[in-house]
Amino acid sequence: MDFWVKFVLLMQGFIEHFFDIPDCRIERTKKHKLIDILFITLSAVLCGCDEWEEIQAYGEKKESWLRKYVELPNGIPSHDTINRLKLVKPSGECVKKHTRGGFGAGGNYS
């Protein structure tokens, strides 16, 4: 199977698996959807980005491609917004539910 076909299947599996993950951020500060930020971050990291600024730059460069999979109603989040997500700690049940069994097309990625 072609690399890009596998990549797209993996990302679609990611969206399906993590779409309903609870968002622990303060409601009034939510400008970007959690699934959008997670999708951008995973895509960027899989493509070699390892700094918050690189993830933002990746999102800006690939925005039209990203919009095929996520909505991005407020565009690409800033590197500061992406960075802040690492401070949000989901509950134990949330982590168990979303890491059990993996995700993706035919593979277990947990």
Residue 69 confidence (pLDDT) = 87
Q: What's the whole-number mean pLDDT along residues 64-87?
A: 90
Which residue, 101, 107, 99, is CA-closest to 1?
107
Give yes or no for residue 96 having a pLDDT over 70.
no
Using DSSP, state whether 27 is helix, strand or coil: helix
DSSP labels, 48-82: T--SHHHHHHHHHHTHHHHTTTS--TT-SPPHHHH
Neighbours of 37 (CB within 10 A): 22
Q: Say if residues 83 and 56 touch (Cβ distance below 8 Å).
A: no
Q: What's the whole-number mean pLDDT along residues 8-18?
A: 73
Domain boundaries, the chain: 28-99
